[in-house]
Amino acid sequence: MEFPHCTGAMDGKHVEIECPPNSVSDFINYKGFFSIVLLALVFANYNFLFVDIGCQGRISDGGVFKDTKLHTLLNSKRLGLPPIASLQNSNFLAPYVIVSYDAFALNENIMKPYSHQSNEVQKRIFNYRLSRARRVVENVFGICSSTFRILRKPMLLHPKKAAIVTMTVTLLHNFLRASESSNSSYCPPGTFDDDVNGEYVPGLWRK
């Protein structure tokens, strides 16, 4: 990830569903379609570390996160993160963190970008590095949607059943990544975004 002390990247994905009976306002999201939320924490190896699935689409990613076991463990210092330590080749002490974006509240263990209005060079570099680290979770969502095409159109299922299907996709993703033989077919070279000699190369899943 090239982001010091980063333990994972967190983001949310709206999984589109048909309009649930008697719940129109609960499931319609800010994009204007009906959905449940897949909130995920992904590691640098492109595997899911934690998922929370099924919250109504009207709720923001930050709102979903506040009601998760992950949030409870993180806030109570029981998540098992390594203790504060010096950054590599530095005497500066820093905590281990999860990278996210503006929807999540900033705290000691959750990093998000500086305001885009900032023109300070150091802040822009920080934002660039954080964005690159967050790209990991974006790529995982992308490969899941490109492979498991049920995620590419509205699920004609009750929200609870749609959540089960979505959970199955995340489990299959990790399963297929677990062995060299299955991973070579599921995620061949070039699948994920890359930086070659400082130049951004989009992953195959984007094509």
SS3 18: coil
Note the maximum CA span of the chain.
58
Domain-wise residue ranges, the chain: 6-206
Q: What is the pLDDT of residue 48?
A: 98
Q: What is the pLDDT of residue 25?
A: 87
Mean pLDDT by 10 residues, the chain (207 residues): 89 96 88 97 97 97 96 95 92 96 94 82 90 96 96 96 98 97 96 89 93
In angstroms, rounded to a whole number, what is the distance separating the alpha carbons of residues 195 and 129? 12
Q: What is the pLDDT of residue 1?
A: 53
